[in-house]
């Protein structure tokens, strides 16, 4: 992710007197051209990086510059620190050093009292990224939000929610908040939010019991295999659920209505195979046969 790389390059420049584009490209596994673009962005952010050509050339921070609290707001630090903390389980000790440096600049980051409102992930669809930012602002300002929300079985309802936290789990964004209509702590999946509006009404966070939503339809858990020729459509239709296995793309997903599953799978024609469940494969065959019979009867009617 670019944010992580920009922070990493800045820390490299702080730790070393001079570093070359080749060294940075190798460390962050990008091209030298990407390094030059990143350094330009760092300069635009107000951190002066000098560039030197020649055999002993490279990049270094301009003389007399040091990173201070004034370069980033505490909210900026919180986002970066939380990102590194969320990645700690994946990149291990590599996150420890930048986390210590950030905590030394803003000790409150390491305190439990510094609420982590956001766990960043850059792979969310554009609509969800916009929704994340809107909800994040509502959380920071303690503003009540009105949601148009669809349950897992497709039932829509209007909710008035006191937003508390944004979470990223297993490829999906969730809003944690106190639902006023249910009078309980709830988790709302952002992909099911049709509309979100921050109101002018503010609230004081309170303790409400955590309570699961009423039992919903379990849905059809499907395992599909797609031909690479439909890659773009599959990525858009099943964000975060795609797995590349050589010359095929496999998707494990849940369909909450059989009608939607049948129409979607049939629309891919011979570019998809149903690996599981067997019942869904039989239903698709019956669905296609029903379509065939429908048009066959139409043809017979037209000929009479």
Task: Please report which confidence band the pLDDT of residue 281 belongs to, taking 50, 70 and 90 as the band edges.
Answer: very high
Q: Which residues contact 184 (CB under 8 A, 6 or more apart)?
A: 178, 208, 209, 210, 211
* 103 lies in some domain: no
Q: Which residue has the tokens 């990223």?
A: 168
Q: How many domains does the chain have?
A: 3
> Which position has the higher pLDDT, 42 or 76?
42
Q: Which helix (H) or strand (E) holds 60?
A: strand 58-61
Evaluate whether 8 touches 28 at the Cβ level (below 8 Å).
yes
Domain end among 18, 47, 67: 67
* 52 lies in some domain: yes
140 three-state secondary structure = helix
**How is residue 154 written in tokens?**
């497709």
Domain end among 26, 44, 67: 67
CATH code of residue 33? 1.10.10.10
Q: What is the pLDDT of residues 173-232, one digit of tens each?
A: 788 889 988 888 888 888 888 899 999 999 988 765 555 444 444 578 899 999 988 888
* 132 lies in some domain: yes
Which residues constitute the domain of residue 190?
126-202
CA distance 162 to 209: 14
28 three-state secondary structure = helix
The pLDDT value recorded for residue 215 is 41
Length of the chain counted residue by residue: 304
Burial class for 14, CB neighbours closer than 10 Å (0-12, 13-18, 19+)? middle
* 138 lies in some domain: yes
Question: 198 and 238: one domain?
Answer: no
* 88 lies in some domain: no
* 274 lies in some domain: yes
Q: What is the pLDDT of residues 103-143, one digit of tens each?
A: 655 555 555 444 445 444 444 566 777 888 888 889 889 99
> Which position has the higher pLDDT, 10 or 93?
10
């Amino acid at each position: 992710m670019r944010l992580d790389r920009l922070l990493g390059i800045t820390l490299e420049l702080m730790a070393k007197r001079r570093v070359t584009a080749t060294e940075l490209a190798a460390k962050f596994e990008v091209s030298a051209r990407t390094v030059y673009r990143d350094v330009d962005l760092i300069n635009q952010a107000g951190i002066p990086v000098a560039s030197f050509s020649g055999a002993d050339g490279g990049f270094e921070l301009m003389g007399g510059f040091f990173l201070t609290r004034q370069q980033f707001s505490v909210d900026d630090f919180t986002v970066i620190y939380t990102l590194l903390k969320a990645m700690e389980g994946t990149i291990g000790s590599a996150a420890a050093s930048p986390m210590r440096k950030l905590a030394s600049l803003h000790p409150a980051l390491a305190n439990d009292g510094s609420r982590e409102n956001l766990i960043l992930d850059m792979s969310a669809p554009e609509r969800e990224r916009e929704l994340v930012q809107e909800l994040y602002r509502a959380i920071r300002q303690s503003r009540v939000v009105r949601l148009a929300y669809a349950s897992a079985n497709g039932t829509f309802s209007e909710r008035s929610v006191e937003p508390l936290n944004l979470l990223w789990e297993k490829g999906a964004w969730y809003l944690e908040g106190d639902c006023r209509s249910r009078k309980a702590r709830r988790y709302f999946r952002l992909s099911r939010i049709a509309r979100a509006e921050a109101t002018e009404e503010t609230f004081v966070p309170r303790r409400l019991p955590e309570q699961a939503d009423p039992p919903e339809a379990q849905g059809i858990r499907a395992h599909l295999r797609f031909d690479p020729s439909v890659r773009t459509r599959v990525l858009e239709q099943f964000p975060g659920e795609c797995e590349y296995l050589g010359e095929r793309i496999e998707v494990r997903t849940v369909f909450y209505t059989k009608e939607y599953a049948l129409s979607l799978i049939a629309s891919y024609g011979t570019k998809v195979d149903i690996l599981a469940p067997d019942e869904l494969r039989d239903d698709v065959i019956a669905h296609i046969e029903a379509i065939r019979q429908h048009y066959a009867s139409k043809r017979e009617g037209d000929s009479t």
